[in-house]
Amino acid sequence: MEDTNGKRGLFDRLKKGLSKTRKLLLTDVDDIILGSKQIDQALFDELEEALVVADVGPVFAGELIESLREKVQRKELSAPGILRNALRETMQEILLKNESPLQIPSDGVYTIMVVGVNGSGKTTTIGKLAHNFKKEKHSVAVVAADTFRAAAVEQLELWSRRAGARLIKQAPNADPTAVVFDAMQSAKTRKSEIFIIDTAGRLHTKTNLMEELKKMKRIMGREIPGAPHEILLVLDATTGQNAIAQARMFKDEIGVTGLALTKLDGTAKGGVVVRIAKELGIPLRFIGIGEQMDDLRPFRAREFVDALFETNG
């Protein structure tokens, strides 16, 4: 169990990681609210615009404004200052629906196929996942199935050593499905181990990439019943709306069971978390808020919203 100081330290790191988003979202929202003497259409229009700029998405912004209007009609909102809390509560409500930490069984083989475009932080995320799982006393194998990019295998080797995980790899430019097949044969001999499979993020065309991933998925399912148990999509939060387009593509093409959103500390558009939750309905498993090994964290809706809205301290 972590002590209170440890938890506070982690929360402060999350707060720091979300500082750019907090500045963009809340400075605008607070300026609008504090500058208004009454709740009227002009206030709602300004608020909606501020939310869209913060990348929470037009769907969420529209629904939030609608729910605020209803509250005004029911006399639940009488002063502009109350709007901030209403915004916070609505955001938390949406995110709670998508809070779904990864549940790793205590025994048996568990396979995680990690997908995403190059540059999203996929390899780093795999290294940090391996580190987290090792801390929780799991056996971990990292599978280097992105054989098109030599640097990917080297990076994984480095991360595996740092995390204390074993690495399954083949010669450069090997057939990635052959690497996956080898890994699944290894899995059959293990009583309990987590297999994290890295995959290519870019081939010549989108069709090539998706066919390659589908082939890997089929091989895993054929060799280990139920595999892959998780298809984790890594998205770069700094790409904003592009992250949404990528999530739709991977979801439609191969199915995605969970998301890891990286580089939240490098963007003012962390509101994209809300947009992904609202528009895609894919469970948010992890968020990345920095470079340190411990900066990939299970996503917790209340903690995220608290860190976003807490301005003191």
Q: Give the chain's end-to-end CA distance (angstroms, integer).
A: 25
CA 273/CA 244 separation, integer angstroms: 10
Q: Has residue 87 got a pLDDT over 50?
A: yes
- 165, amino acid identity: A
Average pLDDT over residues 152-177: 92
Highest-pLDDT range among 82-91, 146-155, 189-198: 189-198
| Residue 5, pLDDT score | 59
| Residue 7, pLDDT score | 67
Q: How confident is the model at residue 152 (pLDDT cuts 50, 70, 90)?
A: confident
Sign of CA dihedral 249, 230, 91, 63: positive
Average pLDDT over residues 253-273: 90
Q: How confident is the model at residue 241 (pLDDT cuts 50, 70, 90)?
A: confident
Q: Has residue 312 got a pLDDT over 70?
A: no
Cβ contact 289:262 at 8 Å:
no
Q: Has residue 313 got a pLDDT over 80?
A: no
| Residue 28, pLDDT score | 86
Q: Two tokens at 208?
A: 């090539």
Cβ contact 229:217 at 8 Å:
no
- Maximal CA-CA distance, the chain: 69
Q: How confident is the model at residue 311 (pLDDT cuts 50, 70, 90)?
A: low
Q: Two tokens at 167?
A: 């690495």
Which percentage of the chain shows pLDDT scores above 70? 96
Give residue-wise pLDDT tens across range 187-229.
999 989 999 999 999 866 788 889 999 999 999 999 999 999 9
Average pLDDT over residues 132-145: 95
Average pLDDT over residues 292-298: 88
Mean pLDDT of the chain: 89
| Among 1, 14, 97, CA closest to 287 | 14
Burial 29-44, CB ≥16 within 10 A → b, else e: beebbeebeebeeebb
Q: Which residue has the higher pLDDT, 307 or 10?
A: 307
Cβ contact 162:80 at 8 Å:
no
| Among 297, 292, 288, 239, CA closest to 265 | 288
| Residue 303, pLDDT score | 93
In this structure, of 8-22, 69-83, 90-104, 183-197, the range with the lowest mean pLDDT score is 69-83
What is the strand order of the sheet 140-144 is part of? 166-168, 140-144, 192-198, 108-115, 230-236, 258-262, 284-288, 296-298
Q: How confident is the model at residue 269 (pLDDT cuts 50, 70, 90)?
A: confident
Q: How confident is the model at residue 287 (pLDDT cuts 50, 70, 90)?
A: very high
Q: Which residue has the higher pLDDT, 95 or 111?
A: 111
Q: Has residue 105 got a pLDDT over 70?
A: yes
Average pLDDT over residues 58-86: 83
Give residue-wise pLDDT tens across range 28-55.
888 888 887 788 888 899 999 988 888 8
CA 311/CA 35 separation, integer angstroms: 19
pTM exceeding the 0.75 threshold for the entire prediction: yes
Burial of 223 per CB tally in 10 Å (0-12, 13-18, 19+): middle
Distances (CA, A) of 34 to 62, 64, 97, 234, 307: 21, 19, 31, 38, 21
